[in-house]
Structure formats: structure tokens, C-alpha cells
Chain A
Amino acid sequence: MPPQLPDDVVEEILARFPPDEPALLVRAALACKAWHRIVSGAGFRRRFRQFHRTPPVLGFLRNVGYGKEFARFVPTSTFRPRRADWGGWRATAASSSTDVARFVRATRFYPCRGERRDFRALDARHGRVLLASMPWEPGLKVQGLEVWDPVTDELWELPDVPHPHSPTSWNAAVVCGAHGVCDHLDCRRKPFLDVFLDSRPKKKMRLFVYSSEAGTWSEPTYGPPSPTNGVEMVPPALVGNALHFLIDATYIILKYDLATRTVSTIFLPDDFISDFAALTTTEDGRLGFARVEKRTAKDNRFTVTCIHDHWSMDRSIVLETLLNVDACSIRNDCVAFAHGVGVFFVGTDVEWFSIDLKSGRVRKENYGDGFNYGVVPYTSFYTPGIALLGP
């Protein structure tokens, strides 16, 4: 029989468990109560995050339509959120079409609520997911916004978005409230901000900020005039203290500085013709975008471009060979980026792939059924909660 290891050595071992295998920590917690106390303690939680630094992609939220639209959490790990279905939010109308935000796993983790009917996932950052309640009707009218933490299953319903807002041209972001001072490794218990961008035709774009601490929406901050083609509903990117919204892929990126509460614009290159792109960030804090370009039926070139001093091509990948799929099936409106880890998601008519740019690893993700409206990657650390042990 091997001798028992002292607690501090056990902690050293558990802190080095790979964060993309969250089930290992849960099983370790079930070995004995002392181990459970170690992994569910605040000290370990902090230590684990500081040791690994980069939160893994636990999964992604897939916006799926049945008939018209449906959203889901698709796990890419083994983690599963707790509320897999949201009874209170089921469609009230006897409609043949449904929208669901569905969690798809990338690790084992799966949240309690793996599926949200009549919801659409808009953004995810710092362990939280932003969902919009959107019972199907013409346009994209938002009924309400919610912020959800799939790991702890905490849910915050936000007060009504300031009205009137454009029913079809808007976007929103969720971000930790302590910008500039937080390292975002363990801030899920801290206040958050939600930034709502409204783009009404023939009026100036406006931004409203909801603070969970204050519990209210701010007065609007005005930006440039609304674009004719509307706001792209793709997850915004955070670089430093600034959120970047893709306004219209043929036009501009709107930059909102959370610290100074000011708006500025970044012009996209003149030859930018794609109608869909995902905003990307690099480790050294550069903003860029990725898009799938279909030059010809045979050439589905997936390009990643970074904004630096000027727009320049950073990288170009030919998806057809990399994914070994029929080029015609690659969709140009299904591309997403997991910030921090540098993982892209690309969809075809029948499959989802994740592409890790650093390691070159390509993985086929669980697809499921329904029609894809895009994915929102979810990156977070998972450590078992204290609640498991009871009083």
C-alpha cells in the first residue's frame, strides 16, 4: 500500500489536472471529503486558474432553428450545465417553428440547462453567457436579456432593454464589470456589464450599458449614424478595455471604450466584400477578423486577417483540404472564434468543426439537428463547487 500523500502535495497534483478535462476534478472530489474540501475551496479555485491561465473551451452555444430558429449548449468537454431545459420560457404560441440556444459540449462538462427554447445566444465572456429571449416573430425583436453562468448555473434576468430600439438591427455584449483591474481568471462572482448597441435607421447608433451592481441601464452614448445594412449580430470582441462591434462587414467596426465610455470607429479595408466575419483577437492584443471566402466552387478559402498598423493578411487556410469536406457545403455565415485559446469554429451544412490554430488540431464537433444560426464559443474554468458537500 502506498503511503498517503499530505494535503499540500495532493493540492499540487490536483492543481495540475488539465482544465479541459473537468470530469477528473469531479471524480477526485468524490474520493474523500478532504479532497473535496481542497478542490472546492476558494484558494484552490484561484490557484488552479492562475496555474493554467487560459480557460479551455468547455463547449459552445449553438443557435438552432426548427422551422425557423432554436439555441443550444453544445459541450465540447465533458461539462454539462444544470438546467438543460427552461420550462418557464417555452414558446407559448402553438408555432411550428422554434428557436433554441443549445449547449454543445467540447469537454465532458454539460450544464444543467443545456437548452433554451425561444432564446438566442449572443455573446459569452468571462464565464458568462448572454442570451436574448426571442419568441419567433417577424424581425429580431428582443423580449428580454439574460446573463447565465453555465458552470454555477446562476441566472440574472436583466430589466427591459431601453425602448424604442430597432427590432432588426442591434447587438449586445457581456463583460466583467471590473475592466482594467481584473485578470478575469476568477471573476464570475463579481459584477458584470451588459452593453446593448441599438441601430435605428436614419438615427445615430446608441449604446446602453447595464451594470449588475447598479441594476439599471445607463443613459445612451451616441455613435456615428446607423448603417444602411444594419448591425451584424456576431459576438463582439474585447481588446483591452474596448468592446468592438462589427457593424456591417462592408463598412466599420464600432469601438466602445468601457473605461472612458466613448465611441470611435475603425474602418474596414476597401476591398472587404464578405458579408459575414467573426472578430478575432491575438495574444498580444490585436484585433482582426476571420471569414470564409468562396472564391470559386472549389476554393473555399478561410482567411484570418489581423488589424495591426494596417489590415494585412495574417493567415489563410484552405478549408476543403483541412476538413476533408465538400467545398460547396462550407457555410460562410457559420464561423466563430474562441478568444484567448485561438480556436475557430467553422460550420458546413451538416457538421461543425473546431480548428486550433496553434496546434493545428481539427476536431469534428457534435452537430445535432436543426438549422444553424451560428455558434457562440464558451470558455471557462471548471472547478467543483462547495455546494456538493452540503452543510
Chain B
Amino acid sequence: MEVDKGKGEAEETRKVAEADRDTVTLKSSDGKLFEVSKEAAARLSTVLAGMIAGGSIDDNGTDLKQIGSEALENVVDYCNKHANSIPSAALISSSISFNTAPFKEPEEWERKFVDRLSHDALFDLVEAANFLGMERLLDVTCHKISEMMKGKSPDQIREVFNIKNDYTKEELEEIRQELAWAFYDD
């Protein structure tokens, strides 16, 4: 029904609409705004679920100061894709029976989702997933990282994760001898 409204009425309608909006607005550390399905956010993130339930969602953009815009865009993208994907048997069974089926391999779309990310974007996304308590996204991103680690030497692992070696040569040699089985070439 198209009816002209006065300014006050429009404001009123907007407020009502926001109260039962089915999305939430998230704000990255650099001030960018992202809309995400409320249902998917609550289902996939324990932190966002808590905020939604506790009423601490800001309609003008809930501040997530720890998360940059690129990572937040990926989080939102993941949530929306997840909301659109058919609930998989894998996820249903993992929620019912965590004891016997804790980890399910990433699905095809999840695999593609992380495969397209740059190295830095992937690492930022892991941090964001950890911060937001997103178990499934952590599974998917960490699975990708563990695949990247396959066949890598400690030197190469240091390079990937930007960490400094604080072992002495002797310490490294001792461990290598002790656990020689872990070091022969693939």
C-alpha cells in the first residue's frame, strides 16, 4: 500500500521495522558497516548470539573493534552463504552427537570459500572466528591451515606464521634425533 507519510510517521515505521529486522549491522575496526542475517549470526557465533540475546546489538552498527573490514566482510559473507546453504547432514549430526562426530570435513562451498583467500586474509579470518566464537568457521579455516602445513619443515612453518626460532642448534638436533620419524621427507 503506497501512502504518503509525514516525517514523524516514517520515523515510527522505521523503528518498528528495525525492532524485528532479520539482520544485524556490524561495524569493523575501520568503521565499515556490514549487514548479516540475524539468524545465521546467532547460530554460527556464540559471541553474536550472546549480544543479540542480551540486547547489546546497536542498530547503527555494533562495534567489533578487534576485526578489520576485510576479515569482517569474510565473516559476514560466510554467515550469509551458510544461511543460504541447505543445512547439511554433517552439521546436523555434529550438533546432535558431538561425542562421536566432532569434526566434519569442510563442505565443497566452504572449501572454495577459504581457498580463494590470501594468506593474510585467511589468518585474519581465523582470528576473527576465534574472537566471535565461530566454531564451524574455525574448523574450516584451521583445516585449511593444517593442509598448508603438510610436508613443511619447521623452517617453513616459521616463515608461514612469521615466528622467530628460539631453539639452539643443539636443541633442534637433539629433538630431530629423538623423533627422527617425524622428519624424513614425504
Which residues of A are interface residues toward B (Cβ below 8 A)?
Answer: 1-6, 8-10, 12-13, 15-18, 21-24, 26-35, 50-54, 75, 78-80, 82, 105, 108-110, 283, 384, 388, 390
Q: Is B172 an interface residue (CB 8 A)?
A: yes
Is there contact, CB below 8 Å, between B162 and A13? no
Is there contact, CB below 8 Å, between A4 and B163? yes
Contacts of B130 in A (CB 8 A): 8-9, 12
CA distance A54 to B180 in the complex (A): 26
Q: Is B85 an interface residue (CB 8 A)?
A: no
Which residue on chain B has the smallest CB distance to residue A10? B161
Is there contact, CB below 8 Å, between B149 and A16? no
Which residue on chain A has the smallest CB distance to residue B138? A12
Is there contact, CB below 8 Å, between A78 and B142? no
Which residues of B are interface residues toward A (Cβ below 8 A)?
Answer: 99-100, 102-103, 119-120, 123, 126-127, 130, 138-139, 142-143, 145-146, 149-150, 152-154, 157-158, 160-167, 171-172, 174-176, 178-184
Q: Are A30 and B150 also in contact (CB < 8 A) when A2-B120, A13-B142, A388-B179 are?
A: no
Is there contact, CB below 8 Å, between A16 and B119? no
Contacts of A6 in B (CB 8 A): 127
CA distance A283 to B145 in the complex (A): 30
Which of A3, A16, A384 is within 8 Å of B103, CB to CB?
A16
Is there contact, CB below 8 Å, between B163 and A30? no
SS class of chain B's interface: helix, strand, loop or mixed? helix
Is there contact, CB below 8 Å, between A283 and B180? no
Which of A2, A17, A18, A33 is within 8 Å of B123, CB to CB?
A2
Is there contact, CB below 8 Å, between B162 and A12? no
> 13 interchain pairs (CB within 8 A)?
A2-B119, A5-B123, A12-B130, A13-B146, A17-B149, A23-B181, A27-B149, A27-B152, A30-B154, A30-B157, A30-B175, A34-B166, A79-B181
Is there contact, CB below 8 Å, between B149 and A2? no
Chain A to chain B: the 7 pairs with minimum beta-carbon distance, closest first: A80-B181, A26-B182, A30-B154, A23-B182, A16-B142, A110-B181, A31-B157
User: Max chain A CB contacts within 10 Å: which of B99, B149, B160, B166?
Assistant: B149
Which of A18, A27, A80, A109 is within 8 Å of B154, CB to CB?
A27
Is there contact, CB below 8 Å, between B127 and A32? no
Within the complex, the shortest CB–CB distance from A188 to chain B, in Å, comes to: 18
SS class of chain A's interface: helix, strand, loop or mixed? mixed
Contacts of B172 in A (CB 8 A): 30
Contacts of B99 in A (CB 8 A): 53
CA distance A16 to B152 in the complex (A): 17
Contacts of A390 in B (CB 8 A): 171, 174
Is there contact, CB below 8 Å, between A51 and B161? no
Contacts of A3 in B (CB 8 A): 123, 162
Contacts of A17 in B (CB 8 A): 146, 149
Contacts of B184 in A (CB 8 A): 108
Is there contact, CB below 8 Å, between A388 and B175? yes
Q: Are A24 and B123 also in contact (CB < 8 A) when A2-B161, A78-B181 are?
A: no
CA distance A35 to B158 in the complex (A): 11
Q: Are A30 and B126 also in contact (CB < 8 A) when A3-B162, A51-B103, A53-B102 are?
A: no
Contacts of B161 in A (CB 8 A): 2, 4-5, 10, 31
Is there contact, CB below 8 Å, between B102 and A33? no
Which residue on chain A has the smallest CB distance to residue B146? A17
CA distance A29 to B153 in the complex (A): 11
Which residue on chain A has the smallest CB distance to residue B157? A31
Q: Are A28 and B102 also in contact (CB < 8 A) when A12-B126, A16-B142, A108-B181 are?
A: no
Which residue on chain B has the smallest CB distance to residue A183? B99
Is there contact, CB below 8 Å, between B179 and A32? no
Which of A13, A22, A31, A51 is within 8 Å of B158, CB to CB?
A31
Contacts of B165 in A (CB 8 A): 31-32
CA distance A9 to B122 in the complex (A): 12
Is there contact, CB below 8 Å, between A32 and B163? yes
Which of A15, A24, A79 is within 8 Å of B149, CB to CB?
A24
Is there contact, CB below 8 Å, between B103 and A27? no
